[in-house]
A and B are shown apart, each in its own frame.
Chain A
């Protein structure tokens, strides 16, 4: 009499049969993998675009080099149109633990094109004594250019849009003639691109009071805990929103996900996953139906339901692995192809790591229907 085969080895035998069967049916294999690839590409692409859009809204906060933001009450996003009292700066500067406190002005401006039309800009007035909230990602010129009178830095991706901007071009911005002193790359939020001026020049262009302050950007003294300084500032300015840079980032992301982005990208991502699930499920189910006699034969010669489960699951794991690899390869290539100053597709490493796991779950779920059919199959059918 033969010895009982250990379950793990027996499962290996069945998995080998499953993989062989899967590879033999090349058309179905390619079709099913394509389904997984579709799900990976669509889901990762949608999430990548969503992260890109989130980044558009957080990039100023991320790059402003401020440990702490002082903003008007109720601030949820970084955008123009909010004010804090001018006295805030002195209050902040005299708070123990504060290293620097700089005003920032943000407003909507217009740039007049040579042909007469107007385009919007998001005018940023930077305190050039600290450069907190100053231009970054410079691709031409230097940020110090705005120290020159009536000189601004614009977004390179909008040069055409603004009527063929070049270094030293002269344009009318909100009624003031300015020189183009440099260009940034990719500084385009949801609204018009950021354009930087020295803070007093910006106030001038905006027709604002000479003490207008929209935000105060704070850095803490070396060795100080940001949270500690935040609470001190809060104690002195209970009516203002005082938030650390990272918390502001998180608040913006949360706000956008809750309000709009989360819903629409959640839907399109789920759509990709559901389509993938359906394709894989139908393919695996039809594979069982097409090979019903073979599965019946396996049962008749002594395979158990557990054996056939191993066979089917090996196939679904293989679909997930191959589909994830091909899909991620395509996503990486596509993200590189799409990347522009207007839209950066961001696929963080954790997303790349998550894809195969999600696809594995998806493919295992997709196997349920096929497994149900296989388990229900009567071995007696082989004699019919």
Chain B
């Protein structure tokens, strides 16, 4: 069982005047100061900017793990800033694949169980979920590592399992926050190459935060963010 990828040219993400203020009073901090951004379906977008510019904050709001202060963020046709809190987990589960800076795997679970868990939560019977997981692990180049625990894998392998977990069941959007930051240059390059290839063949929309100029070339488009605002001179390239 797979999720349907976005079809047509409807934008995958539309962000308008998105504002996030942490705290209040004298210590209030504006992390996002009115962001406007569109992401097309099937686009591989990289979000870059200096440390503290608001990249993670933006990604967190799009990923429905952080609430916005003002503005709107329409993800796959739904404004996530107005969704009820109890709707968010199901939305994340069904629509969004997450890749974190660390692999964030469950240490006690074998790679295949880490991947299959997402499918099982989506309602896929266990046998099928394990099959999906094993196929996904083969796709990320980890054939034979299905029964390995994360602790027995290298950093690059763990991040591949994380990619498998994010992509299994083909969610329409993948959000990645510095997925190569914890890896050496070689594995980082391999991991992003893999992510690009797999998401392209599945028609997945990707928003990938990165600091790493060596992987910029994989982006369909690069968006610069600075002080909580998208830099206007932003252009697309491919």
Contact pattern, B 107-150, Cβ under 8 Å of A = 1, otherwise 0? 11100010001101111101000000000000000000000000
A383 lies within 8 A of B177 (CB) = yes
Partner of A300, one of B92, B105, B113: B92
Please indicate the chain A residues that have their CB under 8 angstroms from the CB of B169 in the complex: 2
Please indicate the chain A residues that have their CB under 8 angstroms from the CB of B102 in the complex: 293
A13 lies within 8 A of B120 (CB) = yes
Complex CA gap A384/B118 in Å reads 22
Q: Is A235 an interface residue (CB 8 A)?
A: no
Given contact pairs A300-B98, A302-B94, A383-B59, A2 touches B123 in the complex (Cβ within 8 A): yes
B66 lies within 8 A of A380 (CB) = yes
Please indicate the chain A residues that have their CB under 8 angstroms from the CB of B107 in the complex: 24, 291, 294
Within 8 A of A (CB), among B1-46: 1, 3-4
Given contact pairs A5-B123, A13-B121, A382 touches B94 in the complex (Cβ within 8 A): no
A15-23, A42-50, A113-121: which lies at the interface: A15-23
Closest CB in chain A relative to B181 CB, distance in Å: 12
Please indicate the chain B residues that have their CB under 8 angstroms from the CB of A303 in the complex: 89, 93, 121
Partner of A5, one of B63, B92, B121: B121
A2 lies within 8 A of B165 (CB) = no
B106 lies within 8 A of A302 (CB) = no
Closest CB in chain B relative to A300 CB, distance in Å: 6
B104 lies within 8 A of A302 (CB) = no
Partner of B109, one of A1, A17, A25, A291: A17
Please indicate the chain A residues that have their CB under 8 angstroms from the CB of B121 in the complex: 5, 10, 13, 301-303, 307
- The chain A residue sitting closest to B59, CB to CB, is A383
| Inter-chain residue pair count (beta carbon < 8 A) | 94
A382 lies within 8 A of B56 (CB) = no
Q: Is A59 an interface residue (CB 8 A)?
A: no
Closest CB in chain A relative to B156 CB, distance in Å: 19
Given contact pairs A5-B121, A13-B120, A13-B121, A383 touches B108 in the complex (Cβ within 8 A): no
Q: Is A298 an interface residue (CB 8 A)?
A: yes
A302 lies within 8 A of B100 (CB) = no
Q: Is A304 an interface residue (CB 8 A)?
A: yes
- The chain B residue sitting closest to A14, CB to CB, is B121
- The chain A residue sitting closest to B104, CB to CB, is A297
Q: Is A129 an interface residue (CB 8 A)?
A: no
Please indicate the chain B residues that have their CB under 8 angstroms from the CB of A297 in the complex: 100, 104-106
Given contact pairs A4-B123, A293-B104, A300 touches B65 in the complex (Cβ within 8 A): yes
Q: Is B224 an interface residue (CB 8 A)?
A: no
Given contact pairs A23-B108, A300-B63, A383 touches B89 in the complex (Cβ within 8 A): no
Q: Is B90 an interface residue (CB 8 A)?
A: yes
A302 lies within 8 A of B65 (CB) = no
Please indicate the chain B residues that have their CB under 8 angstroms from the CB of A294 in the complex: 104, 106-107
Q: Is B53 an interface residue (CB 8 A)?
A: no
Q: Is B187 an interface residue (CB 8 A)?
A: no
Within 8 A of B (CB), among A285-303: 291, 293-294, 297-303
A2 lies within 8 A of B106 (CB) = no
Please indicate the chain B residues that have their CB under 8 angstroms from the CB of A299 in the complex: 65, 89
Complex CA gap A173/B101 in Å reads 88
Given contact pairs A1-B94, A5-B121, A302-B121, A383 touches B100 in the complex (Cβ within 8 A): yes
A301 lies within 8 A of B118 (CB) = yes
Please indicate the chain B residues that have their CB under 8 angstroms from the CB of A10 in the complex: 121
Secondary structure at the A interface, as helix, strand, loop or mixed, is helix
Please indicate the chain A residues that have their CB under 8 angstroms from the CB of B66 in the complex: 378, 380
B92 lies within 8 A of A1 (CB) = no
Complex CA gap A299/B118 in Å reads 11
Partner of A304, one of B1, B89, B94, B177: B89
Please indicate the chain B residues that have their CB under 8 angstroms from the CB of A1 in the complex: 3-4, 94
Complex CA gap A382/B103 in Å reads 10
Please indicate the chain B residues that have their CB under 8 angstroms from the CB of A80 in the complex: none
- The chain A residue sitting closest to B103, CB to CB, is A297
Complex CA gap A3/B169 in Å reads 13
Given contact pairs A2-B1, A17-B109, A300-B65, A382 touches B89 in the complex (Cβ within 8 A): no
Complex CA gap A301/B96 in Å reads 8
A383 lies within 8 A of B106 (CB) = no
Complex CA gap A291/B106 in Å reads 9
A301 lies within 8 A of B122 (CB) = no
Complex CA gap A300/B59 in Å reads 12
Please indicate the chain B residues that have their CB under 8 angstroms from the CB of A383 in the complex: 56, 59-60, 63, 65, 100-101, 177
Q: Is A108 an interface residue (CB 8 A)?
A: no
- The chain A residue sitting closest to B67, CB to CB, is A380
Contact pattern, B 146-159, Cβ under 8 Å of A = 1, otherwise 0? 00000000000000
Complex CA gap A13/B100 in Å reads 23
Please indicate the chain B residues that have their CB under 8 angstroms from the CB of A379 in the complex: 65, 92
- The chain B residue sitting closest to A384, CB to CB, is B56
- The chain A residue sitting closest to B108, CB to CB, is A24
A17 lies within 8 A of B60 (CB) = no
Please indicate the chain B residues that have their CB under 8 angstroms from the CB of A21 in the complex: 106, 108-109
Which 6 A-B pairs give the minimum distances between C-beta atoms?
Answer: A302-B93, A24-B108, A5-B123, A380-B65, A379-B65, A21-B108
A to B CB contacts below 8 Å, 7 in the list: A5-B121, A5-B122, A20-B108, A301-B117, A302-B89, A382-B98, A382-B100
- B-side residues, CB < 8 A to A, are 1, 3-4, 56, 59-60, 63, 65-66, 86, 89-90, 92-94, 98, 100-102, 104-109, 113, 117-118, 120-124, 126, 165, 169, 177
